[in-house]
Amino acid sequence: MEYLPNILFGILLVIGIGYFSRNVKKLRRNIFLGRDADLSDNKPQRWKNMARIALGQSQMVVRPIAGIMHIIVYIGFVIINIEVLEIIIDGLLGTHRIFAFMGGFYDFLIASFEILALLVIVAVVVFWLRRNALKLARFVKPEMKGWPKSDANWILYIELILMGLFLTMNAADYQLQQMGVAHYEEAGMFPVSQFILPVFEGMSASSVILIERIAWWLHIAGILFFLNYLYYSKHLHILLAFPNTYFGNLKPKGEFANNEAVTKEVKLMMDPNADPFAAPAEDTAPPEKFGASDVQDLKWVQLLSAYTCTECGRCTSECPANQTGKKLSPRKIMMDTRDRLEEVGKNIDKNKGEFVDDGKQLLDDYISREELWACTSCNACVEACPVSIDPLSIIMNMRQYLVMEQSAAPAELNAMMGNIENNGAPWPFNQMDRLNWAEEAG
């Protein structure tokens, strides 16, 4: 019976990490349903971008209030979880604060953790008020109703509970140290949780131990729950922001990739030695699909971005089309891509590893044509994203499908392309008449 708590802790740890590993495998499988993308170029710049954007949070502070609060929560989340390592070792070995041998440095660490925990609580309260009381415009868009809104609030509640349990655990531990209870040797400095000590006045040592153990168990169980909840939450970006910023587009914003098949045709047309009447070489490969109508047509890095989306709405708040009342929301483009990808993944799970046509696709069933053609391709959404997501690339791929596979461009665009083909310019004027306006003005 002496080792029963350690055994139970080990079982809890194995279950939590095992389920997390299962989710990681499913996530990886879904992401690589997309097309290949060679992103092995310029590795030094990619590492630099990851360090600056994901680790350094450089894009967050563009909006100072939200940025600073987010950095507090981010640092608190990362650093406080260093103590999780100690909790795991103590749980498996039955020890008490095994890192206490570090002496003064350990005191400094625990004090820092507690101050950060308090700052996280303050930041979480501010975030909750911004979303639910102040109702900032970017948090009340149509796509933020239902689960996205609930998810954002649940994350805040979970963080609040975890920090509360952490401070309660420390306060009870400190009280037991003061009481000289065996096993609770003096270790650590508690600048925040010491103010909770009056709650334990008059309690017996066994009661305080019970509170400390309950808070300890709930804290580690909560962390394991949060780890597995990430897969279903927008907070998956905690993990995916790092690879997403590493694999982010290094080309200048606004530079679009040439379509290889179209480039080949243009070069053939421009070649004076080419025979325009020659029969094309026989090609046994299946015809290439231009653009994207479903998630499998997108590149895997675009699917990675869909899972990385923080749903912060900075892209949508900067979008000129959205600002002028158009239906387009870059955030919704990423959310829809992720939702469709999840649907495809569940289809594969249900059908023993094979995708069975479900009569749906990303185009029309999730993202409307009206949304796609509302985009001005200005790159404001790409510039605003704090984790290097490129909604515009998905929009352009889907537009390409509409134009090149379905000839379904808007009438205005078709007229412009016809004018370019016939007149060498977007305007419906013969080249000989193009300067008539100047003569009339004279």
pLDDT of residue 65: 81
Choice between 262 and 2, residue whose per-residue pLDDT is larger: 262
Choice between 103 and 242, residue whose per-residue pLDDT is larger: 242
3-state SS assignment for residue 367: strand
Strand partners, 299: 35
Choice between 276 and 90, residue whose per-residue pLDDT is larger: 90
What percentage of residues in the chain have a pLDDT greater than 90?
52
Question: Per mean pLDDT, which of 95-99, 154-158, 251-255, 422-426 is the most reliable?
Answer: 154-158
Single-letter code of the amino acid located at 327: K
- The residues near 60 (Cβ < 8 Å, ≥ 6 apart) are 66, 67, 70, 71, 386
pLDDT of residue 74: 80
pLDDT of residue 401: 94
Buried b (16+ CB within 10 A) or exposed e, 366-383: bbebebbbbbeeebbbbe
pLDDT of residue 283: 59
The 10 Å Cβ neighbour count of residue 296 is 17
Choice between 430 and 216, residue whose per-residue pLDDT is larger: 216
Choice between 262 and 144, residue whose per-residue pLDDT is larger: 144
pLDDT bucket at 64, cuts 50 / 70 / 90: confident
Strand partners, 35: 299
pLDDT of residue 284: 55
Query: What is the rounded CA–CA span in Å between residue 94 and residue 77?
Result: 25
Query: What is the rounded CA–CA span in Å between residue 321 and residue 94?
Result: 59
Answer for the pair 236, 230: CB distance below 8 angstroms, yes or no.
Answer: yes
Closest CA to 311 of 153, 157, 163: 153
Choice between 437 and 61, residue whose per-residue pLDDT is larger: 61
pLDDT of residue 286: 60
Answer for the pair 241, 52: CB distance below 8 angstroms, yes or no.
Answer: no
- Whether residue 202 is predicted with pLDDT greater than 70 in this model: the reply is yes
The pTM for the full model equals 0.87
pLDDT bucket at 21, cuts 50 / 70 / 90: very high
Question: Burial, 205: exposed, middle or buried (Cβ in 10 Å; 0-12, 13-18, 19+)?
Answer: middle
pLDDT of residue 424: 80
Give the chain's mean pLDDT: 88
Strand partners, 367: 363
pLDDT of residue 51: 92
Answer for the pair 244, 387: CB distance below 8 angstroms, yes or no.
Answer: yes
pLDDT in tens, 328-347: 999 999 999 999 999 999 99
Query: What is the rounded CA–CA span in Å between residue 353 and residue 32?
Result: 14
Structure tokens at 218: 């709930």
Which whole number is the average pLDDT over 75-84? 74
Q: In the chain, helix, strand, coil percent, each to 5?
A: 70, 0, 30
pLDDT in tens, 209-260: 999 999 999 999 998 999 899 899 988 998 999 999 999 999 888 788 777 7
Using CA atoms in the order 119, 121, 126, 129, what is the torsion angle rounded to 10 degrees? 180
